[in-house]
């Protein structure tokens, strides 16, 4: 039968709409709460991951000064090794000429001349000697200049000193060695 009086039907319809609205409202609130919980959980995970990264960086920062010191020590040792290697390379390049000079030196040194030091510096062989007079130095210089494997010899009088009643001349001879190889 048709309802002629629309008031009870409207009231049921209104209650039904109210009930549907409350269900939708409850569902939306439930969805928002679940979304907020998921968002908070996601943020917590991101905070944990960032905290782990911070811990890793903190540990790395604690190790870094030790590793930097080790690296600088290795770098210094490497530079020293390269320096020694360069000296060895220079010596092997000039080996024949240096051996030739050392073999000839006993015949070149005059009476009264003493060989004090032999050094190799920047492709030059430096001989430091002591003699009793300038003539001793000149004679030695002339003899060493006559050698075939020597070029550009230079004589430098370094100092004059007195030992007791004698005067001693300290002089050096710088020579470049010709390559024999």
Domains present along the chain, CATH in parentheses: 94-177 (3.30.70.60)
Q: Which of 148, 129, 139 is nearest to 108 (CA)?
A: 139
State residue 3's pLDDT score. 58
Cα 4 to Cα 8, 12, 118: the distances in Å are 10, 15, 133
On average, the pLDDT of the chain sits at 82
Digit-coded pLDDT (tens) for 10-43: 888 889 999 999 999 999 999 999 999 999 999 9
| Confidence (pLDDT) at 48 | 96
pLDDT in tens, 57-77: 888 877 777 777 888 888 999
Dist. CA 31–CA 125, nearest whole Å: 92
Q: Which of 6, 7, 175 is nearest to 101 (CA)?
A: 175
Overall pTM surpassing 0.85 (yes/no): no
Q: Does the pLDDT of residue 97 top 70, yes or no?
A: no
With cut-offs at 50, 70 and 90, classify the pLDDT of residue 5.
low
> How would residue 173 be classed by pLDDT, with cut points 50, 70 and 90?
confident
Specify the pLDDT at position 179.
Answer: 60
Predicted confidence (pLDDT) per residue in 136-170, tens digit: 888 888 888 887 777 788 888 878 887 777 788 88
Q: Give me the pLDDT at residue 31, please.
A: 96
């Amino acid at each position: 039968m048709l309802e002629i009086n629309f008031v009870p039907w409207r009231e049921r319809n209104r209650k039904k709409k109210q009930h549907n609205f409350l269900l939708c409202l409850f569902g939306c609130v439930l969805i928002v709460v679940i979304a907020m919980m998921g968002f908070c959980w996601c943020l917590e995970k991101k905070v944990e991951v960032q905290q782990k990264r911070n811990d890793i960086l903190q540990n790395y920062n604690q190790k870094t000064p030790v590793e930097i010191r080790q690296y600088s020590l290795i770098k210094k040792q490497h530079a020293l090794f390269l320096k020694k290697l360069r000296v060895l390379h220079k010596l092997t390049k000039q080996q024949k000429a240096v051996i030739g000079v050392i073999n000839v030196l006993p015949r070149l040194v005059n009476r009264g001349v003493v060989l004090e030091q032999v050094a190799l510096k920047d492709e030059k062989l430096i001989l430091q000697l002591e003699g009793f007079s300038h003539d001793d130095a000149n004679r030695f210089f002339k003899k060493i200049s006559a050698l075939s494997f020597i070029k550009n010899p230079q004589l430098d009088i370094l100092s004059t000193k007195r030992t007791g009643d004698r005067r001693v001349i300290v002089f050096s001879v710088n020579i470049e060695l010709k390559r024999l190889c």
